Amino acid sequence: TQARGPDPDIPIVTERLQGIKHKILVLSGKGGVGKSTFTAQLGFALATDEDTDVGIVDIDICGPSMPRIMGCKDEEIHGAADGWTPVYVQDNLAVMSIGFMLPSEEEPVIWRGPKKNGLIKQFLKDVEWGSLDYLLFDTPPGTSDEHLSVVQFLRESGITGAVVVTTPQEVALQDVRKELDFCKKARVPVLGVVENMSGFVCPGCHGESKIFYPTTGGAKAMCEELGIPLLGSIPLDPRIGKACDFGSSFTDTCPDSPATKAYLDIISKI
Ligand code: ADP
């Protein structure tokens, strides 16, 4: 295949995104570790402050889950004078996802890299994001076409950094190393690692069980070894899954829970 130069539309993307202060990629080595859940709940938690404007762009093109977990799955994208308007979940929280364009949630998206690249470009070039404090990118697991596309399109406007979500198990941690390697090669700063489902707090007795092996400190030890911050550990709490199924903010519905404390602590570090 012929080597191609950078996309000629990168300067247009750069101009479109100039009002966005922080662009954060949320990555995970494996699927099912809670990356989309984390992205959504981070978005809600950041937007609790009404002076903070937040956008979420779902670039998990083949598995878009943002419309459901942000509680806006029946919304449609509307055309604006100058492109598309994202879906507003609340005044200061906007979402964009291919999920809004599919005839049904069951409809599979079977696209090759160039087509995904084209849609990601549209999400960045044609959406009226306006000025935002944070634009969070929910990415597919692993490192694939979508990651390469977003890194390419943000090469001039800059990526604030990546947050890597993992569960405590060794197999998941191994894949975190691959994500970190990707960040190094793509020159994306790593903000840190979030350990999700790091323990289970019994709603009855409030005792904490470490339900995964290794039972303690796998992510912490890895972060220490690699010299990157462990941003926080979010316990497994069924109410998080419930909040996502109902498209609501976990930190609002369960303000006193250990998981909320973890989310707020993570926010203070990014
Ligand atoms: P990924 O984006 O990594 O594929 P999801 O965000 O879709 O993973 O999460 C997978 C499942 O785990 C979902 O059903 C979600 O509600 C649940 N989940 C994620 N994090 C937690 C948590 N901390 N406590 C309880 N359930 C969680």
Share of the chain above pLDDT 90, in %: 75
Token pair recorded at residue 258 = 């250990």
Token pair recorded at residue 245 = 């199924």
Contact 56, 66 (CB under 8 A): yes
Question: Would you tell me how many other CB atoms lie within 10 Å of the CB of residue 205?
Answer: 7
Domain ranges within the chain, ordered by starting residue: 10-269
Encode pLDDT of 203-245 as tens digits: 788 777 887 766 667 889 899 999 999 999 999 999 999 999 9
CA 243 / ligand 1 centre spacing (Å):
11
What is the predicted pLDDT for the residue at 211? Answer: 78
Please state the atom number of ligand 1 nearest to the C-alpha of residue 40. Answer: 6
How would CATH label the architecture of 10-269?
3-Layer(aba) Sandwich (3.40)
76 has pLDDT over 80: yes
The β-bridge relationship of strands 208-209 and 78-80 is unpaired
1 has pLDDT over 60: no
CA 32 / ligand 1 centre spacing (Å):
6
Q: How crowded is the C-beta side of 2, counted as CA atoms within 13 Å?
A: 3
Region 34-55 average pLDDT: 97
Burial 95-112 (b: 16+ CB within 10 A, else e): bbbbbbeeeeeeeebeee
**Atom 13 of ligand 1: nearest residue by CA position:** 241
Please state the atom number of ligand 1 nearest to the C-alpha of residue 239. Answer: 25
Contact 184, 233 (CB under 8 A): no
Region 171-197 average pLDDT: 94
What is the predicted pLDDT for the residue at 215? Answer: 64
Question: Would you tell me how many other CB atoms lie within 10 Å of the CB of residue 169?
Answer: 16
What is the C-alpha separation between 147 and 161, in angstroms, rounded?
13
Q: Is 34 in the pocket of ligand 1 (CB under 6 A)?
A: yes
| Cβ neighbours for 15, distance < 8 A, ≥ 6 positions apart | none
What is the predicted pLDDT for the residue at 213? Answer: 66
Q: Say what the pTM is.
A: 0.94
Per mean pLDDT, which range of 124-138, 151-165, 166-180 is the poorest?
A: 166-180
CA 154 / ligand 1 centre spacing (Å):
28
2 has pLDDT over 60: no
